Each structure stands twice: as structure tokens, then as C-alpha cells.
Structure 1
């Protein structure tokens, strides 16, 4: 099989946990994800068994709105330090980076997040893999530039296109399973490249890796992280009916099957972005106890777009910027939602509830 990496990076097969172990956090990457060892010292998560997670998504605009949300996160971190962050995709708007040395990594990630000095577990989004028009997901290999950037940044954690993070390493409180379902939800499906096909080598190996990793995980909390959600009341809608389109596969029917076959009922939470909203949705019979959370309002909102889904929600807002805070211990999972006023930068805690 030819190597799917560009920019001269060769295939580096890494056994589970063999690379990137840093002060209580480990990564797991298997081929064809090709885990990339870091070339710089990486920020470590805060120590201890109380894990506070900054949950943010769709941030990478480089605009004043991204900076406003980041400023609010900095202010929160100064009072109640985060252990790590999860970035739920669309990291580099509008079309993704042109290489691992692209200046956009500085202007749309490093500079806005200065002072938020902890690991950022990053997810690939459709805008990160654009080909012809922004967000089409038609150049899947473009995402490898973001994997390569893992070697260059202290904050940015994307050692492979899919991977897991355990915090702490021994007797983990939480394990995050960062997944890449872009091949299943691209607006320009990969018809011409069998590697990325729905049942091609990449997705089949990701499925096999995920099934094994979930079965072997000893973490109290198992959390899946994707860009595209299974359920959403935002403009993109639910998997299987993305954009309200009856056209397969761009309606996300394959993403829906992936979630149902490999994720739902096996994790406590599914964290996603894609819709520029903040949503805490109720589990449904189809989610088999898994709760869908959407946090995609770190750079844009869905103001002016229709609310599409009929999903029951504990909380949702379509027109406010913000982020979420997840506090995890061995015995509890608590979620806060923080909204941010782009004009004043003022932040407001609008939701606070124990979810587990």
C-alpha cells in the first residue's frame, strides 16, 4: 500500500503508547494513521485525577471572534486551570493548510491560544480537507499536513489522523478516542481513490482499531471525538440526513452507520463540532446511552440559519459564541457551557450540570 502522507514524511509505525508519552498522557496510533513522534517538547496536562477539559470546535478563523473566545478561555484558565483541550475540527478555515509550515498554524491556532499551555487534542474537519470549494472534504490527504504539524508544536496534538489519549496514563480517569470520519461524510466523496473508500483500507483499519481500543480501555470515562455529529439541531442536521439531502452518500448515511456500529453504546459522550452551535442533547434509544454534545461555536455561530433537528436538548443556542468545560473525576462528569459576547468579550456561564 502506498504511503498516504505528503510533505516527505515517511510511514512511522508506532505500537500502542510507544511514542509521545508525556507526564500522564499517552497517545495511541496505528497504521495507516502513522503516528508521528514529536520533535519539540510538548505541553503536559495538569497533574492529578481531576481532569478539566476545554471543549471547543470550529475555531480556526484567525478572526476577532476566535480571539474573543480564546480570551474568555484564558480568563477561565487563570481561575480554574484546564488539564487539556479538545479541538473538534475545522482547525484551519476556510480550506485547510498548504503544508506543515503554513503560516496559518500561527495565525489561526498558536497566536490566538497563547497562554493556554496544555495539550490540544485536535480532530480533522471537513474544512481542513478541502479541495475545490471550502469544506468539501474532497482532498482527504490534505489532513496529513495537520498530522505533520504535531511534530512542530508544543500545544497541537494530532499524532495521527485517529488516535486515543489517556489521562492519566496509569489507571486513566478518561480516554478520548479521536476519530476521522471525513471519508464517510465528504461533499466530494472519494470515488476515485479506493484507499479512502467507505470500505477501503483506511476506514476498515480505523474501525478495527477503534473496536479493539474501546474493548481494551480501562478508563472510567470513554469519550469519542468527531467533527461531524451523529445528532444535531443545527443547520447540518443529523447523520443520515446531513443538509436535509436525500442523496447518498453526502447525506452522511455511512457516517450514521459508523456511529451506530462502532461508537454508540460504547462511550459515555460523543463530542462533535461542525454546526456552529452549543448543544447538550439528550440520549435517545438510537444512541444506546451515549450523550451527543456539540461545541462548534469557537469562531462562528449559526445565527441566521435554520434549526433543523427535532432532538431533545438540555441546552442549546444557535447564535452565541462560546466553549464548554468538562470536569471529570473517577466518580462524576460535569459539564458547563460558557457563552462569549464578541463585542465586549464578556463570558457568561449559562449551563452547569452533572451528566454522569
Structure 2
């Protein structure tokens, strides 16, 4: 008896298997998967190493400067600012009373209308001026302050005013004297431009830590002079940016901070060593002298990049989150249907 013809068996599981294969193809390879962020103790250890190895820190210790006290007061103000506490103004006012280089930070307090903190800063600074050394207050306001505001092209001045003065009068490289009128005017224009750009960028963010870091990083670009030991105050924005960028793996910000750290620290130390040994190539010395202002500018740019990415959710962490949501959505859409097997 002839065998009955059987139709070919159709693989009913084919579409399901194809969908599963497509889902597997969309899975990122193992070497592309993001590693977990560094532990908090690892970030903390890095911050400590960055701080103690920073050349302006050792410079202040060796020279017995008061700038480390200012750094501590700046840290107290920053702690209070990030948490919305008014009492940080006491530390800010004390720091400004000691050295006016931190004066631009008060503009942030005014900009954000933190009136209680502003009043505390004004009261603290005024009390320190009147109680600390009232006999020198008149001399400081009417003799010392105008002389300091005149700027200088001395190689230790890392502000834009120092660079501009050295361009106008190269002989000021090794002489502490006031800047020419044209250099002062151009320095003032740059200071105003830095202020406008900084506040135009920070107004869009709600991250108090980053906006504070941006204003502190801008202060040496606004001041008429910024000695090498003054730059220890830039540790605050450096540490803030490192703590912000490491978990997000924002390598651009990290690279800018690292380059700034090198230019302000080791490169400036190299300049000092060459001057002590009597190195005579003025062109090389001039290039090394401008490394400081370049490092300050890079740090300022790094803060603005971080603020902008944080405000507009453009940092790598947010981008990774968006990609993960998209990938999870694709996996959900490609869910493998139930596989039916036809009995033969």
C-alpha cells in the first residue's frame, strides 16, 4: 500500500528564534559595557593626592603664606553654599577681608540673591577690618590697594593682566612695577568679559557645587595680579571637577583639569628652577611664564563645560542612561513570543 504523502513540516518556532537572535545582536559586547564607577574611597584618595602634590600648596608651606588659611575659609563657604546655609558668609567675609582676591565670589552670592549670606559676609569682613588692624585700614585702602590694582608684568603674576603687561613692556618680566595704561584698560575688558561669560553659563544650572567652582576658577582671571601662591585657591574647583567627572567618565573635563594642574604646578616650578640656576634663554622663560595663565584659563573652561553639561543633561552619565533606556525599550519590543511546536 503506498505511503500517504506528508506535507513538509514548517518550523513554527522560526520567527521567535529570529527575534531572539536579533535581541542578542543588540546586546552590547562585553568589552563595550560600562564598568562600575569608582568607589568613594578611591575618589577620596585621589583628591588627597592631588591636593598634597599641588605645587602652590608646598609653596605656601615653604614661604609661610596665609593662602592656606584662605583655602580653608573658602572650603567652609563652599560647604555652606552647596547646602544653602547662610553662615558660610562669615567665612567668605573673613577671607575677603584678609585678601581681596576672593572678592568676585561675593558677586555669586549677590547674583543668586542669598541676602542672609551676603549680610553675614559684609558684617564679618567689616568687623575684621575694624578690629584686626584699624590703624592700617586707611593706608591699605588709599595706598596699597591702588598700587596693587595697577598690576605688574612680573613673571610671578599669572593673571591675564600680567601677560598683557609683559607684551606691552617686556622689561617688566623681572621688575615689579605698574602696568601701562593700555595694558590696564585691556585687562579690565578681559575681566568684565570673564564675568559676563561665567554668569551667563552658570545661570542655567541648579548645581551649586559647579557654579561655585566656576566663579572661584574665574577669580584669577578677574584679578589684576595672581601670585603663584594665590593659585592654591584653585584646588577647590579642581577637586569639585574631579569628584564630578570621575563617576561620569567625562574625560574631556578630566583632561582639562589635569593639564591645568600640570601647567600651574610642575611647569611653574620648572620656571623657578631655571631662574635660580641663571638660565639665560629669555624666549623659553617667557613661554614658561605664560603657562600659569593658560592653566588657569583651562580650569575655568573645564568648569564651564561641566556646568553646561550638567544644566542641559549632556554629560556622559546622562547620555549612557538615555542609551540604556533605548536599549531596554528595544529589548522589550523584541520580546520572544511563545514558541509552539507542532506534533509530527
TM-score by length of 2: 0.29
Highest CA radius of gyration, 1 or 2? 2
TM-score by length of 1: 0.28
Structure with the larger RCO, 1 or 2 (CA within 8 Å, 6+ apart)? 2
Q: Is the strand fraction higher in 1 or 2?
A: 1
Q: Is the helix fraction higher in 1 or 2?
A: 2
